[in-house]
Each structure stands twice: as C-alpha cells, then as structure tokens.
Amino acid sequence: MSTLRYLHRSFIAGALGIAALLLSSCSSPASKTHTVRFVVRVHPSAVGMPVYLTGNDSVLGAWIPNAVPLRRGSDSIWSEEMRFRNGTDLEYKITAGSWWSQALDSNKNRYANFRLAVDRDTTVTIEVFDWLNRTRNGRAVLSAEQFGATQPPLILDALWKYHPGDDLTWTSPALNDSGWITTDTFIQWDSLSGPPWNGRGWFRLPLFVDSSLWNRTLAIRIEHLGASQLIYNGRRLYSIGTIDSVDGGYRPRSMTLWQEIRIEPRHEQVLVVRYANLDWQRIRRKGYYPGFVLSLAPVNSALLNAVDVRKNAERQIAFTLIPLILALVHFSLYGFLQNQRHHLFYAICMLGFAGVTYFNYLRSLVVDVDHILLVTTLNNLSGTAAVFFGTLTILALNYDRLPRRAWGYTIFALGLGILGVLGYSASLLTNLTYVLFAFTTFESILSYFSAKAKVFRGGWLLMGGFLVLNVFVVLQILVDFDLITETPNTTQLYVYGMLALAVSMSVFLSFNFAQLNKDLKKQLETVKQLSDSAIEQERRAHALALERKTIEIESARKSRELESARMLQLSLLPKHVPQIPGFEVAALMKTASEVGGDYYDFFETADGTLTVAVGDATGHGLKAGNMVIAAKGLLNLLSSREDVEEIITAANRAMKQMKLPMMTMCLAVARFRPGTMTYSSAGMPPRRIYRAAAKSCEQIMLKAMPLGAVEQFPYAQRSIGLSHGDVVVLTSDGLFEMFDKRRELYGMENVMRSVADHADETAESIAESLCADATAWSGGAPLADDLTIVVVKVG
C-alpha cells in the first residue's frame, strides 16, 4: 500500500503548498510572478498517450494526475506555460492521465518528484522514455511484458470506477459505469472532498487485455481487512470473508494468498470487486487502510510468496525463541544476584523484543481481522516495553541509583501503553516508540561518557551492541517511511539489531565473569610478585644502564662517521659559483640529515659555456652520499661531451653497470650559451623560467627515468631561447614538496609565484628568497627532504 502513502503525503504537501500560497497572497498582493514553460519530449516508445502535468501547487492541480493537460505540438513535443509567484517551491510529475501511467526515465524507472524553485522566467524540459503502464480508450492495458520473470507484482491501484451502495446487477460486464467515480481502492479519502463511503461499495476496473495474455494463467491476490467478492467478466472467482449471507451476516477476513485466474481470449474485459468494511473507522484509527489492494503476478510469484510465508514462520520461531531464552537466563541471574537490577530490566526488555518479533510476524500470518487488530495492539505494547526496559537497563548498569529523568521515561512509556490500549493509530504509536528509542540512544551515549557513571569493564561491548541496534532501527525507520524499498528480507530489520544487542550483552557478562576470575588469580599471585619485584627491578635497572651506555657509544661512533661523510660531501660541491659574462649564477643547498642526497656542480669552458648539473639521489644519509660521490666523478669525466643528452645517457649506462642495489639518481644538466639553454633531465622536476619580457613564469618538463633505473633509456634534450632579464631556476623536489602544519603541499604553483615575485632581484637574492618563502610556508618545520636551488639569470 506504499502508493496510497505516497498519494496521501502528496495530498498533504499539496494542501500545505496551497495554504502557504494563500497566506503569501494575502500578505503581499503585489508579489512578482514568473513564467515557467514546461516542455515534455516524448520518445518514440512512449508516443500515443496524452501528457499531463500535476504537482503540489494549485496551478499544477494539487496532485490530481489529469488536472493539467499539456498542449500537443507534435507526437513528441508537449508543452504549457504557467505563471507562479516568486519564491514558489514546486514539486511535480508527468503522467498520461492517471497514476497508473506515470512517466519513466531511460532505465524504465519511475521519476522521483521533479523540483523547481521559481525565481525567474525559465523553461524546464523533461524526457519521457516510456510509461509505467498504458491505457486504451480509458481502460488499463495489460500485456505479457508486464508479467516477466523479473517483474514485481502489478498493483492495480488506479482507474477504478466506484459506486457506493450494494446492487448485484452491477456485476454485469456490459454495465454502463461512465457515471461512476474514478478513484483508487484504498478508501483513505477526505471526508469532505472525497467520494462517499458508508461501509459498502462496488469497484469496477475496465481492462484492455493484449492478445499475448489470452488463455494464460496468472496469480491474483486481494489484500484487505474487510470482506470482498472478486468478479471477472461477470463470473465470480473468489469470496474473501462474508458480505451478506443470510445466516452469517458480515464477517471480515484478511487474505494475502495468491489465487489463480485464467485470462479469457478477448480484448475488453472487466474486474469487479464487491467490497464491504463496516468497521472501517476503527481500522483507519489503527493505522490501516480500510480499502483493498488488488495485484496480478506470474504464477511463479505465487509460489515464491508461499515460500516467503513459510520462511516468515521459521523466522518467527527463531527470532522469538532467542530473546525468550535470554530472558530466562537473566531472570535466573537476577534471582541469584538481586542487587544487580540490570538483569531484571534486561530480562523484561528481551521479553518485549520477543513479543515484538512474535506479533510482527504473526500479523502477516493470521486472517481474522479482530485478531489482527489485537495483535497490532500487543505488538505496540511489546515495543514500548522493550525500549523502556532497555533504557532502564542502561541506567542500572551505569548508575547506583536511577537518575530522576527515569521518571520522565516511565511516564512517557505509560502514556504510550495507555494510547495503545485505547486503540490509537499504530503508526502514531510506532513513531512515538521511535522517539523513546532516541532517548535510549541518548542515555547510552551519555552514560558511557558521563563522569558520574560507573566504569564497567567491557562497556565498549555493550556500546557496540547498542550501536548495531541503532543502525538496524534507523534502517527499519527508512523502510517504514518508504525511503528504502521493502523486501521479504527487510520487513523486520530491527530483529538483527536486537540479536546483536543480545550477543553483546552475553559477551559483556562473559567478559566480566572472566575478568573477575582473573582478578582473583592476580590477588593470589600478588605476594609472590611483590617478593620478586625488587630483584627484578634491580636487574632491569642494571640492564637498562648497560644498554644506555652501549647506545651512547654507538651513537657517538655513528655521529663521527656521519660528520666525516658530510664533510666529504660538502668538499665535493663547488667552492664558488662561476662568473660567466652575460650570466649571473647563484646556488643554495640545505640537507635533511647529516649526509644529503642532493648534488649540484658547475663546469666552465674557455669559450664562455656554462654547464650546470643538479641531482637528487634516492633518500638521504650515507647511501645517498655515496651516490653523490659517484655522480661527481662521472660528471667530471662526461661534462665535455658535445650534447647534454650524451652526458645523461653515458652517466645512466655507467650507474646501471655499477649495480648499486635499490639506488638511483635523478639528474638535470643545463648548458648555457649566450641567448640559449640546452637542457636534458633524468627524472628531475620541471625547470622554471621567468620571462622578463612577458613578466610570467613557465615550466619545462622532460619526463624520463632516473639514472641507474633502465640501461638503454632514450633520454632527450631541448633547446630554449633566453633573453635579457630571464631567470632559470633549477631545484630538487625538496623545494615544492615542503608541507605546512596542515599537511598541505607547497607545490609548483607557489614556487612559480615566488620566482615571479623575486625575478627583479639578484640571482643570489632570488635563491635565498625562494628558500625563505618555502620555509615561511612550512612554519619553520625541519626539512623532510634535501633542498637544492640553482639560479641562472641572464644579464
């Protein structure tokens, strides 16, 4: 009956929207209005049906599915223009004239409500790929494609013709019912604007049956809490309950089993339901729909439904028996330990859960209406007891005396019980029970973190159980409010949370008993431990002192070795930067540890050519220092090569042949001549060039593998023109990979921005400024990687 819930909520939303519109019109009669043009594009598969618009606004028909017909521009284009006040929030749907034939999206699913906040003139376009169902000459169309193996049961919930009263002549298929009221079958109508209902009435559904269904056997099911006779083409199929027998009178009955119906071989057919529900007001107060729902499905669906009924009976036994056993166990524990009231409260809580589970499943198995209403009341009372005594269990576990707010929970629970006995709506009572459960959740969190609460060892076990229970209760709420599609496996989701809570409580008790035994054992061993404690402490102190001395000696030795290696590495770096006509050169290096992995060098020739090398060995420390020494020796031999690409290629081949385990080196070589730079890279970051003429910074990126990774890697080189005032910045990745206190990366963009900001300064000042900007970004944090900056400025 989810469709009726949707219609009912939609009607309420529409009524509230109309009321808001009237109030706003009274307060500001001159409010600005906007034009909204609705355009519906109908795909070929959906052509042939009229197109209607309906929604929550009175202009949109207040959710009457055929209230606003759209104008036909062509078979595939339908449209209409409407005016709405500024600020109106619209919800709307596209239909073919009834809820039976709603618009479908490209995945053949019903569209959710479209939404629009009106704040200007606008055009909205909706595509209709097909219709949920079709009509023909006002009749609901049935075809074989609606009853595929994977299709859900087809709910016949629209296009019914209704007439109040009771007249057996209305059985005839040839009856002219054009004057009857078109409505649904739920009888959840408004007493003022809806059709009249006095407990008896007839419903007729005209059908157009496609020949693909002729002579096929389907399953049919009618669900209600009244009494009915199902008539097919003038022939009575089934009677559920008794409507008017001479000796029995009216006897309601609930029937959820599928029955067979063989489809006759003709197009125009009619289903007729003679229906009575003389106790409809009490049923509606209980939260049930006083009408009926008729469904059609393949015969296989009926067989699966029978399996579901059997499974429900099995679930009822299992999920009722488990909390009953737990209740018995905790009643027994309370009998032996009467000062621990939480056992008593938890036992009653489990009895409540057992009642909720038993009555919930029983409600889908019984057919007597009075029995169903009684079961509903008992189910509500059981739910209230389960939640209330669950709250008391938490309070008793965490406080020596129940806090005063427990009286508030008691009054709330007693009020729920009284409302349930008086026969108030089951949905209202369920919602109020959910409110009480929210207080229970609040208590579990408050008690766990409260300083006044007792500290129970293993309390996290109970918290885990309550957390799982909360998750399943929230899922149950989503199912109850149709926010999650209901399936046979999700009708009673809360029972899985209840089982999780039961298991967590059992584990909690076992944990506490185990901890008690451990405590006793520890107390017996205390004397022996105290006697051995002094000797053990003295031995440990001596061992720690010896270990500390050894560590100090080893640390001093390593420090001397690292200092020697650091001095060796620094001695390999250029003692001064070259003075080349037309170029201004500066270099800066900072290491992350005693021996770094970064390296830079300069090579000059007599013709004024300057070759700059910047490298970054894997990691840092002694291994990285050894790699730098190897690179220094190789570049001293290779720097005279004609092309920088040859230098990179030869150095890579030599390092690969060294077979250094897990060691590689990134290297960039740039050769500067007047007006040009030739550049090659082996895994180094992009080079930054500031163009003085354009006053902008750019990057040069040559992607390649580091030296020592792949022996025959094809390295490339690139020549770049340079002009007066241009600045070339070569760095290791230690510059742009610095982090601030929020662990945000300094990044290439900040480096380029810093280069542009300081490009007018001297080369030495640019290098120092780049380092200072990055250090300020990091908040002065220690370097995580070595940092090298080489700046060449064209004079």
HSE-CB for 493 with a 13 A CA cutoff: 18
Q: Is the pLDDT of residue 520 over 90?
A: no
Least confident of 3-12, 166-175, 683-692: 3-12
Q: What is the pTM assigned to this prediction?
A: 0.50
755: CATH: 3.60.40.10
- Is residue 562 in a domain? no
- Each residue of 247-257: pLDDT tens digit? 557 889 887 77
Tell whether 285 and 347 lie within a shared domain: no
- Each residue of 220-248: pLDDT tens digit? 999 888 999 999 999 999 998 888 754 55
Query: Containing domain of residue 219, as a range?
Result: 137-303
Least confident of 30-44, 159-173, 613-627: 613-627
Q: Is the pLDDT of residue 430 over 80?
A: no
Q: Which of 464, 491, 517 is the last residue of a domain?
A: 517
Tell whether 125 and 205 lie within a shared domain: no
Contact 592, 784 (CB under 8 A): yes
| Residue 432 dihedral angles phi and psi, to the nearest 5° | -65, -35
Report pLDDT for 22: 39
Amino acid 332 reads S
Q: How far apart are CA 574 and CA 602, in angstroms?
A: 7
Section 429-439 average pLDDT:
78
DSSP 3-state of 791: strand
Q: Is the pLDDT of residue 72 over 80?
A: yes
**Count of the separate structural domains present in the chain:** 4
Tell whether 624 and 740 lie within a shared domain: yes
68: CATH: 2.60.40.10
Tell whether 159 and 281 lie within a shared domain: yes
Section 578-588 average pLDDT:
91
Tell whether 367 and 443 lie within a shared domain: yes
Which of 345-349, 493-497, 539-543 is the most confident on average? 345-349
Section 430-459 average pLDDT:
70
Report pLDDT for 77: 94
| Residue 576 dihedral angles phi and psi, to the nearest 5° | -155, 160
- Is residue 543 in a domain? no
Report pLDDT for 447: 66
Q: Is the pLDDT of residue 542 over 90?
A: no
Instruction: Give the residue from 292, 259, 275 showing the smallest Cα distance to 1.
Output: 292
- Is residue 548 in a domain? no
- Is residue 533 in a domain? no
Least confident of 148-157, 505-514, 555-564: 555-564
Q: Is the pLDDT of residue 85 over 80?
A: yes
Tell whether 364 and 513 lie within a shared domain: yes
Contact 479, 440 (CB under 8 A): no
Q: Is the pLDDT of residue 426 over 70?
A: no
- Is residue 482 in a domain? yes
- Each residue of 650-702: pLDDT tens digit? 988 888 888 777 778 899 999 999 999 999 999 898 989 999 999 999 998 88
Section 636-652 average pLDDT:
88
Q: How far apart are CA 145 and CA 151, in angstroms?
A: 9
Q: How far apart are CA 791 and CA 584, in angstroms?
A: 8
Q: How far apart are CA 146 and CA 165, in angstroms?
A: 33
Tell whether 295 and 329 lie within a shared domain: no
Report pLDDT for 568: 64
Chain mean pLDDT for the chain: 82
756/29: higher pLDDT = 756
Q: How far apart are CA 496 and CA 342, in angstroms?
A: 22
Instruction: Give the residue from 225, 306, 290 showing the smallest Cα distance to 258.
Output: 306
Tell whether 353 and 280 lie within a shared domain: no
Tell whether 293 and 148 lie within a shared domain: yes
Percent of the chain whose pLDDT exceeds 70: 85
255: CATH: 2.60.120.260
- Each residue of 378-423: pLDDT tens digit? 888 888 888 888 888 877 877 778 888 888 888 888 888 888 787 7
Q: Is the pLDDT of residue 635 over 70?
A: yes
Q: Which of 303, 335, 352 is the last residue of a domain?
A: 303
Tell whether 99 and 11 lie within a shared domain: yes
Q: What is the DSSP string of 233-288?
A: TTEEEEEESEEEETTTEEE-------EEEEPPS-SEEEEEEEEE-TTHHHHHHTT-
Tell whether 436 and 496 lie within a shared domain: yes
Report pLDDT for 43: 93
How does residue 12 score in pLDDT terms, banded at 50, 70 and 90? Answer: very low
Least confident of 332-336, 372-376, 530-534: 530-534
Least confident of 112-126, 153-167, 542-556: 542-556
- Is residue 275 in a domain? yes
Contact 629, 572 (CB under 8 A): yes
Q: How far apart are CA 116 and CA 53, in angstroms?
A: 14
Q: Which of 483, 517, 551 is the last residue of a domain?
A: 517
Tell whether 28 and 84 lie within a shared domain: yes
- Is residue 411 in a domain? yes
- Is residue 553 in a domain? no
Contacts of 629 (CB under 8 A, 6+ apart): 568, 569, 572
Q: How far apart are CA 665 and CA 725, in angstroms?
A: 32
